[in-house]
Amino acid sequence: MLDVLNTFNRFPLAKLEVGQQLYWQLGNLKVHGQVFITSWFVIAVLVVVSLLGSSKIQRIPSGMQNLMEYALEFIRDLAKNQIGEKEYRPWVPFIGTLFLFIFVSNWSGALIPWKLIKLPSGELGAPTADINTTIAFALLTSLAYFYAGLSKSGLGYFAHYVEPVPFMLPFKIIEDFTKPLSLSFRLFGNILADELVVGVLVLLVPLFVPLPVMVLGLFTSAIQALIFATLAAAYIGEALEGGHGEEHHD
């Protein structure tokens, strides 16, 4: 995409270069510094909201406490519907963390023109606009539902890989890894595209035109977080059923 944008170097759009990285060297390891910066911002927002919502617990909730209790109830219902009444409780923290981090990350990309904030090198963006972040979510989801299946059924969990016939084994293995990966690529693509559109409009028409696009971005960003968390919970529910549960579709 960087090459495509560079072909339009006569236009202001060319100022929004895609793919530049701020690298931090940690020993022999080179990491993307801009992802850590924006991830720390998202974590700080979540921590502050959590502290505000739990600092003065009232019998009749109001304000931030009411918001936090609504979010918890929403996440519990999501996990319960996808995993099941009997087994959803241990998975609420994992599903909630996925949903809240992705939700706040996506909204930061829709509300903040990260790419217009100058760095010595690289460019800022929502954590979920970086493919490394979304693939990390996919790997965590894969580990979660393998753990769920093995903890429930032991090695017998793998029996469903050869059902109804043994030659289904490679196809089911591929399916188990491609399901969360497809989620990660969709999340990455949608958030990156939204950031680019908002950034271009802010650059070209900085006052009122970007506002409708930003509102639409907030809506689609929330939907993307909901889809990822819902399907992650659905995959865990399937694993707990030993692979014999109802098929879940996005």
Averaged pLDDT in 10-residue chunks for the chain of 250 residues: 41 44 75 83 91 78 80 92 88 93 86 72 78 86 87 76 72 76 77 68 63 74 88 88 48
Same domain flag for 121 and 215? yes
* Statement to judge: residues 137 and 235 lie in one domain: yes
Distance in angstroms (rounded) separating the CA atoms of residues 157 and 46: 36
pLDDT at residue 8, as a whole number: 37
Confirm whether 147 is domain-assigned. Answer: yes
Tell me what pLDDT residue 248 has: 43
Same domain, residue pair 201 and 117: yes
Q: Is residue 247 part of a domain?
A: no
Domain total for the chain?
Answer: 2
- The one-character DSSP state at 15 is G
| 3-state secondary structure at position 32 | strand
Q: What is the pLDDT of residue 5?
A: 37
Residue 175 lies in a domain: yes
| 62 within a domain of the structure (yes/no) | no
Asked whether residue 182 falls in the same domain as residue 105, the answer is: yes
Q: Are residues 219 and 109 in the same domain?
A: yes
**Same domain, yes or no, for 43 and 111?**
no
**4 found inside a domain:** no
Domain containing 146 equals 74-242
In this structure, the answer to whether residues 42 and 126 fall within a common structural domain is no
Are residue 42 and residue 122 in the same domain, yes or no? no
Residue 65 CB contacts under 8 Å (≥ 6 apart), including other chains = 53, 54, 56, 57, 58
- The Cα 84–Cα 132 span in angstroms is 31
Q: DSSP secondary-structure letter at 9? A: T
Q: Are residues 109 and 193 in the same domain?
A: yes
**The pLDDT of residue 208:** 61
Q: Specify if 10 maps to a domain.
A: no
Classify residue 59: in a domain, yes or no.
no
Q: Tell me: do 94 and 124 sit in the same domain.
A: yes
Predicted pLDDT of residue 20: 62
Whether residue 79 is found in the same domain as residue 45 = no
d(CA 49, CA 65) in angstroms, rounded, equals 9
Domain match, 208 and 114 both: yes
